[in-house]
A and B are shown apart, each in its own frame.
Chain A
Amino acid sequence: MDASSPLPKTVHYKLVLLGDASVGKSCLVVRFAKDEFYEYQEPTIGAAFMTQSVTLGDEIVKFEIWDTAGQERYRSLAPMYYRGAAAAVVVYDITNKESFDGAKSWINELKAVLPSDVVIALTGNKIDLEASRCVSTELAEGYAEDNALLFKETSAKTGEGVRELFDEIARKLPKKSQDSDAGGFQVSSNQKASSWSTGSCAC
């Protein structure tokens, strides 16, 4: 079936967005997937699913994106969605110091739970609101370096940095084995939480 198709190969990666309520996770996804911005983004119950691709050389990286709910209480459902992710985008709002603490706490949780080759990107959103900035770029960048995270500042509203964020993630993802084109999908773990409790704290 592969006869004469010089089509670029598509690889699928699961990506999850995490972070405090209202930092702009849903807006970031919508900006990336549809290049739009809604002031009244519907609340996310549990998680919303979307896809978007990035071309990388002769390869198409197709992100299967899980945008998780913001309310603190939904935190207990997050493992349901970040299980098996190849990449995680942890978002904070540069005008809100608490949301940066929230991001750190998410990063701690992810590092404790996910394998060490998962790409984690720390993202400071809403840079169009520079005047009300509370979290300095240096502080966040330093934290990201210490913890071996990708770091990017974005505005879902203007679109600044959004494309670059996902491009960089795509470049940093571990290459997948060539074979399985048909199934495509191979990221999500087929296991349940209860059976992957083996220590993954490789750090």
Chain B
Amino acid sequence: MTGEAEAVGPPAAEYDEYGFVVPAGALGREIVRYKQQFQPKAERRVTRWERFRRADPSLSNRRRLKRLVRKGIPDSFRKEIWAHCLGSQRLRDANPNKFESLLREPLSDETLSQIELDLTRTFPNNKLYKYEDGVAKLRRVLRAFAVHNVRVNYCQSLNFIAAVLLLFMDEELAFWTLAQVVSSEEGAKGLHIDGYYVEGMDQLRADLRALERIVQRKFPNAYASLRREGVELEWVCQEWFHTLFSTVLPIQTTLRVWDCLFLEGHKILFRVALAIFKENELRISKFQSLEEVMVSMREISSHQVDHNSLLKAAFKGIGRLKRAQIRREQAYGERMVAEENAAAQARRERHNQAHPPPPAKPQLPALDNPGHGEAGGSGEESPVGAAVREAARRLESVIDSCYDSILGDGDDDVDVSPVDGEPPAARLPGSIPALSPDSVFSYLGVSVSSMLQPSNSSDATRSSVNVHRGDNALATSPAK
């Protein structure tokens, strides 16, 4: 994969530049056609990136980086820029023997066999994974990760994420990058979505609830159409978030999404999901049966060939979407999920009282989680630990918001604004929250005292972080 401008045209083999079989029929033709159409832009992009890398080798100009990333990272720069954005290169350099030593650690049979089961069925349509060589790489990345991240271990979906990373990176860097994508250790870099992949998947479910509320508000007709046919938004969108779109969008589009996701973080998942609704609003609004919704939504996502248009919609078309709003909706989602879990638990107990439990296996087995062992429980961390993690996560997003108020929150154009021009002088300080400890905590809505008191709730989904902001309004308004 060189970034050189070579003669274009349909690829000689029926593989694309990433090793995927070009889909048959109209979709495949559309992908090839769009690639040709996009080629001049892609070439300009390469020149710009080369210039940028020469002028700013340490990538210190974050604003410039963000603008360039939003227009797409050329293939030849992806590995380096992803690893930079996520901090995985630093981790790798700082831990030169870690990957190899993780691979020497044992894993449970259950984990090993689940990984094996999935290896042969991860992108069987990609050249790399047709051969044992590529499969072996994927195996090692997933095994090292399972040892490294004890809470997550292995979860289906990670196989797809790792497999895409391996198209650009060697095993060791792919491993560190996967680690940072799932659960960042490096300060402000990386994502924090390990809750998508652990037992219960509470964070995923909460995010889907949050997305639902935002879709309902921004695209009421499309949303109403889904509901009219009895479709839950989460049926459609769960996989989008879980595999970070890699199993639902064309690969070229997935890569554009990941470019932004890895630099700007979690909110990009929301922006892109909303952009898919935006780009197809009219069609979605006219669905007439449940079957049509389910089949067409899959088709719609797999046909997002025009990645530039989708990204434009994500940053402009969908309108404003502040981090604070996403955070509020996430807090709402977390409450809904906690309620759901409590109701499910209560039902289970009521049922078990009526019918003594059979000597089958437990309803919710502990995590496949050897080294983490406090006695009993579901293997989750303590409420205080969860509170601290949560506070850290929120603090980070405040810091991010500060960036945003300097950089503009994603409302800059994707392709129109002059990259080399001066930044608009407006939008500077003003809206940055003052960062005294008090104001930070109240901004975060974290009750410090509650973090320090041991909670007697054993429900793993409830941390003792209380989110005060806007709760009441959200809890009661049906937003109609």
Contact = CB atoms under 8 A, between A and B. Distances in A.
Given A45-B243, A46-B239, A201-B351, A105 B360 contact: yes
Contact of B347 (A77, A81, A192, A199): A199
Interface in A75-96: 75-77, 79-81, 83-84
Contacts of B242: 45-46
A109 B121 contact: no
Contacts of B132: none
Given A41-B121, A43-B121, A185-B229, A112 B156 contact: no
Interface string B333-354: 0001001100110111011101
Nearest to B241: A46
B333 to A, nearest CB: 11
A42 B121 contact: yes
A188 B230 contact: yes
A133 interface: no
A108 interface: yes
A108 B354 CA distance: 11
A98 to B, nearest CB: 8
A21 B114 contact: yes
Interface core residue of A46, A75, A105, A185 (most chain B CB under 10 Å): A46
Interface stretch (B199-207, B311-319, B383-391): B199-207
Nearest to A44: B156
A40 B120 contact: yes
A73 B235 contact: no
Contacts of A42: 121, 124
Given A43-B118, A197-B346, A108 B355 contact: yes
Contacts of A73: 155-156, 197-199, 201
Contacts of A79: 340, 344
Interface stretch (B267-275, B288-296, B449-457, B463-471): B288-296
A184 interface: yes
B361 A201 contact: no
Interface in A159-203: 184-190, 192-194, 197, 199-201, 203
B65 to A, nearest CB: 32
Contact of A187 (B120, B230, B295, B354): B230
Contact of A199 (B201, B231, B247, B350): B350
A115 interface: no
A108 B360 contact: yes
B201 A76 contact: yes
B425 interface: no
Given A22-B117, A69-B156, A74-B156, A101 B344 contact: no
Nearest to A98: B361
Contact of A76 (B118, B120, B205, B290): B205
A45 B156 contact: yes
Contacts of B197: 73
A64 interface: yes
B473 interface: no
A112 B347 CA distance: 7
Interface of A: 12, 21-22, 40-43, 45-47, 49, 51, 64, 69, 71-77, 79-81, 83-84, 98, 101-102, 104-105, 108-109, 111-113, 184-190, 192-194, 197, 199-201, 203
25 contacts: A40-B121, A42-B121, A42-B124, A43-B118, A46-B239, A47-B235, A71-B114, A73-B156, A75-B364, A76-B200, A76-B201, A77-B205, A83-B232, A101-B361, A102-B360, A105-B358, A108-B357, A112-B352, A188-B290, A192-B336, A193-B340, A197-B346, A199-B347, A199-B350, A200-B347
Nearest 6 CB-CB pairs, A to B? A112-B351, A197-B343, A188-B230, A49-B294, A46-B238, A105-B360
Given A46-B238, A193-B340, 8 more contacts: A42-B124, A45-B157, A45-B238, A45-B247, A73-B197, A108-B358, A108-B360, A199-B350
